[in-house]
Structure 1
Amino acid sequence: MGDQLARGEEFEKKAEKKLTGWGLFGSKFEDAADLFDKAANCFKLAKSWDKAGATYVKLANCHLKLDSKHEAAQAYVDAAHCYKKTNTTESIACLDQAVILFCDIGRLSMAARYYKEIAELYESEQNLEQAIVYYEKSADFFQSEEVTTSANQCKQKVAQFAAQLEQYQKAIEIYEEIARYSLNNNLLKYGVKGHLLNAGICQLCKGDPVAITNALERYQDLDPTFSGTREQKLLEDIAAAIDEEDVTKFTDVVKEFDSMTKLDPWKTTLLLRVKEMLKVKEMEEDDLT
């Protein structure tokens, strides 16, 4: 490890010396780039991630001097992947630089991919607001390249986090849009009832029984096979419990569904919000009587 670190520092020194020297027709940048690349590899082998990241940024700058935007973008990506192990902020900054360059040279699918990676980094930091921003950017780019499956995966993340942040209408619109798209795709048809269930749970969180009833009618028009499913029955029964302000009924309905189909943490969190809302309503009713 120590040996690799020393080798890396030696290559880096040589590269810096090349840059301060005189070179013919940009050859000093080519020579320096070669040396920075070797230095970064040595730093990676020594697991000196910050040094490797910083060296890849220097390599990117050399490529920019040579007007090699694709190579510069790739160097920024390499820098980001080193920084990912130690410094999320630096990793995101490098990926952002890479995306700008990929956009410049028309590599939109690469831009989409790295926007998604930025979103995942924000997600890992529990920064849901920024994760939404970058998943949306990624979805737009994937959509423009007609990579609809990847676009929808990103949109589902947006909907998931929007609901967690109580932006229910935004989440509803996304889930309904994905359900409509999935209906026309034989491979994705099986997932439609799941998207409609998610949209319905977001409707429930808004606490408007009329809106929930209208939504359920819309979902049955959209997908006639939704009618009679356990998902549809769950939403209908919860809507009735909200209308009747009956917490016990709500709890029984959710328990019964969960015993057959395990509710994931996201659904559980949202349904607990609905339950709390119901409890408040029930207490208000008790206070009035």
Structure 2
Amino acid sequence: MGDHLARGEDFEQKAEKKLSGWGLFGSKYEDASELFDKAANSFKLAKEWNRAGAVYVKLANCHLKMDSKHEAANSYADAAHCYKKTNINESISCLEQSVNVFLDIGRLNMAARYYKEVAELHEQEQNLEKAVVYYDRAADLFQSEEVSTSANQCKQKVAQFSAQLEQYQKAIEIYEEIARHSLTNNLLKYGVKGHLLNAGICQLCKGDVVAITNALDKYQDLDPTFSGTREYKLLSDLAAAVDEEDIAKFTDAVKEYDSMTQLDSWRTTLLLRVKEGLKAKELEEDDLT
């Protein structure tokens, strides 16, 4: 490890020396970039991730001086992947610089990939507001490049986190849009009932019984097979329980569905919010009597 570290330092010093000297027709940047590349590799072998990241940023700057934008964007991404092991904020910063360069040269697919990576880092840090922003940006770019599978994955993340942040209407619109799109694709058709269930649960969180009933009618029009599914029955039973303010009925409907198809933690969390809302109403009414 010590040997790799010493080599990295030696290459970096030589690169800096090249930059501070004279060079004809930009050749000093070319020479320095080769040395920075070797330095970064040596630091990686020595597991000196911060130093490797910093050198990749210097390498990116050399590429920019030579107007090699594609290489510069890749170097920023390399820097980000080193920093990811030690410094999330620095990693995000480098990925954003990579995205900016890729956008500048029209490589939208690469920009989308790195926006998605930034979103994943924010998700990892439990910063859902920022994760939503970057998944949204990634989805737009993937969509414009017609990479619909990746676009859908990002949109589902936006919907999932929007609902967690109580932005239910935004989540509803995304799940409904994905369901509509999935109906036209034989491979995605099987997922429609799940998307409509998610949209329906978000409707329940809003607590508007009329809106829930209207939504169920709309989903039936959208997919005539939906009314025969257990997902539809669950939403219908839950809507009735909310309308009647019947907590026992609500709990039984959830248990019945869960005994056949286990509810994931996201759906469970949202349904608990609806149940808590019913309990709060019950307490309010008790106070009034």
Q: Check whether TM > 0.5.
A: yes
Q: Partner residue of 1:123?
A: 123
Give how far 1:283 is off.
Answer: 1.6
Give how far 1:143 is off.
Answer: 0.7
Contact 1:9–1:39 (CA under 8 A) maintained in structure 2 = yes
Q: Partner residue of 1:19?
A: 19
2:157 paired with 1:148: no
Q: Partner residue of 2:275?
A: 275
Question: Where does 1:126-137 land on structure 2 (aligned, <5 Å)?
Answer: 126-137=126-137
Q: Partner residue of 1:65?
A: 65
Contact 1:102–1:111 (CA under 8 A) maintained in structure 2 = yes
The amino acid that maps onto 2:56 is Y
C-alpha distance in structure 2 between counterparts of 1:38 and 1:174, whole Å: 46
Q: Give the paired residue count.
A: 289
The amino acid that maps onto 1:210 is V
The amino acid that maps onto 1:225 is T
C-alpha distance in structure 1 between counterparts of 2:84 and 2:118, whole Å: 10
Give how far 1:245 is off.
Answer: 0.6
C-alpha distance in structure 2 between counterparts of 1:142 and 1:262, whole Å: 32
Q: Partner residue of 1:249?
A: 249
Q: Partner residue of 1:108?
A: 108
Give how far 1:286 is off.
Answer: 2.3
C-alpha distance in structure 2 between counterparts of 1:274 and 1:168, whole Å: 12
SS at match of 2:228: coil
Contact 1:12–1:35 (CA under 8 A) maintained in structure 2 = yes
SS at match of 1:22: coil
Q: For each residue in 1:113-155, what CA deviation from the matched residue of structure 2 results, as whole angstroms up to 9, or x when unmatched?
A: 0000000000000000110110010011011111111111101
Contact 1:33–1:62 (CA under 8 A) maintained in structure 2 = yes
Give how far 1:104 is off.
Answer: 1.1
Contact 1:176–1:196 (CA under 8 A) maintained in structure 2 = yes
Q: Displaced runs of 4+ in structure 1, greater than 6 A?
A: none
Q: Mind listing any 5+ residue stretches in structure 2 that lack a counterpart?
A: none
TM-score, normalised with respect to structure 1: 0.99
Question: Where does 1:137-216 land on structure 2 (aligned, <5 Å)?
Answer: 137-216=137-216
SS at match of 2:24: coil
Question: Where does 1:1-20 land on structure 2 (aligned, <5 Å)?
Answer: 1-20=1-20
Give how far 1:285 is off.
Answer: 2.3
Q: Partner residue of 1:35?
A: 35
Q: Partner residue of 1:89?
A: 89
Q: For each residue in 1:65-121, what CA deviation from the matched residue of structure 2 results, as whole angstroms up to 9, or x when unmatched?
A: 100000000000000000000011100110001011111111000000000000000
The amino acid that maps onto 2:23 is G
C-alpha distance in structure 2 between counterparts of 1:28 and 1:3, whole Å: 27
Taking only the aligned residue pairs, the percentage that are identical comes to 81
Contact 1:246–1:282 (CA under 8 A) maintained in structure 2 = no
C-alpha distance in structure 1 between counterparts of 2:106 and 2:200, whole Å: 39
Q: Partner residue of 2:51?
A: 51
TM-score, normalised with respect to structure 2: 0.99
C-alpha distance in structure 2 between counterparts of 1:263 and 1:192, whole Å: 16
Q: Partner residue of 1:266?
A: 266
Give how far 1:39 is off.
Answer: 0.2
Q: Mind listing any 5+ residue stretches in structure 1 that lack a counterpart?
A: none
Q: Partner residue of 2:223?
A: 223
Question: Where does 1:235-246 land on structure 2 (aligned, <5 Å)?
Answer: 235-246=235-246
C-alpha distance in structure 1 between counterparts of 2:287 and 2:96, whole Å: 55
SS at match of 1:25: helix
